Amino acid sequence: MANSMNITLKVWRQAGPDAQGGFETYVVPDANEHMSFLELLDVLNEQLIKEGKDPVEFDHDCREGICGSCGVVIDGMAHGPQQRTACCQLHMRHYKDGDTIVIEPWRAEGFPIIKDLVVDRSAFDRIIAAGGYISANTGAAQDANALPIAKYNADLAMDYATCIGCGACVAACPNASASLFTAAKIAQLSLLPQGDPERKTRVRNMVDQMDKEGFGDCSNHAECEAVCPKGISISSIAIMRREYVKALAD
């Protein structure tokens, strides 16, 4: 049978956006190696509810690394110690009996805390609404194969398109910049011929929106790439800069 582990958790608790927050310490005596990290939090919450306390709030949905809902800082690392892994896919076999784990929410001006580990990432939606799309009204499309796209470009566009919008890049960045997220979408759409007509307005509007939301500037720390669960490359940021300069040149 799986080994039982005694795990101590130091969790950031904050009752609401304007409330004073702080760490609380809890012990989960019967964690086991097959559990996912979020299942450990589930076990903790069941324990808290039974004790008449409020459970720890955290966002989650798919629990398979694709929806981008989950996201906490674990021992100082966005999404925790395993590379290219959203925290819902992190498993307890990476820990051992007696370990203490510190859990905090994303911290960034652009992501106000809602409660405990839950933050407001709606700024990301507003960045996309500013231009992260190709304008193609339903029904107006030509045959899908009328526009061949080199496999290399299509594959590269797909690499950038896999961003799950989790916000880890912002949380890990010393400047709390949203550049990796924004650039991933700009890079994807700039690689596709369908995206060409709007490329200039897109990059201008998205970058402006990013600034308005209170995210910092990128100064090439590359912490974002290191924590990104999808391995989005910072080469996207270079593409975004190039696109931006070209757009301003007009």
Site residues (vs ligand SF4, CB under 6 A): 163-169, 180-181, 184, 228-230, 232
Answer with the entry of another protein, ligand FES, ligand SF4, none that 86 interacts with (C-beta below 5 to 8 A by kind): ligand FES
- Which H helix or E strand runs over 244? helix 235-249
- Let me know: does 116 contact 12? Beta carbons within 8 Å: yes
Residue of 63, 200, 221, 242 that binds ligand FES (CB under 6 A): 63
| Shorter beta-carbon distance to another protein: residue 79 or 115 | 115
94, two tokens? 């990476």
Answer with the entry of ligand FES, another protein, ligand SF4, none that 72 interacts with (C-beta below 5 to 8 A by kind): none
- Let me know: does 75 contact 81? Beta carbons within 8 Å: yes
Q: For residues 85-104, which are near ligand FES according to CB under 6 A? A: 86, 88
CA nearest neighbour of 71 among 82, 57, 87:
87
Answer with the entry of ligand SF4, another protein, ligand FES, none that 70 interacts with (C-beta below 5 to 8 A by kind): ligand FES
Question: Which stretch in 21-29, 54-62, 179-187, 236-244 sits in contact with ligand FES by CB under 6 A?
Answer: 54-62
Q: For the CA atoms of 210, 214, 217, 218, what is the dihedral angle to 10 degrees?
A: -70
Kindly give, in sequence order, each residue whose CB lies less than 8 Å from that of residue 52, ignoring residues fewer than 6 positions away: none
Q: Report the interface residues with ligand FES, using CB under 6 A.
A: 60-63, 65-70, 86, 88, 164
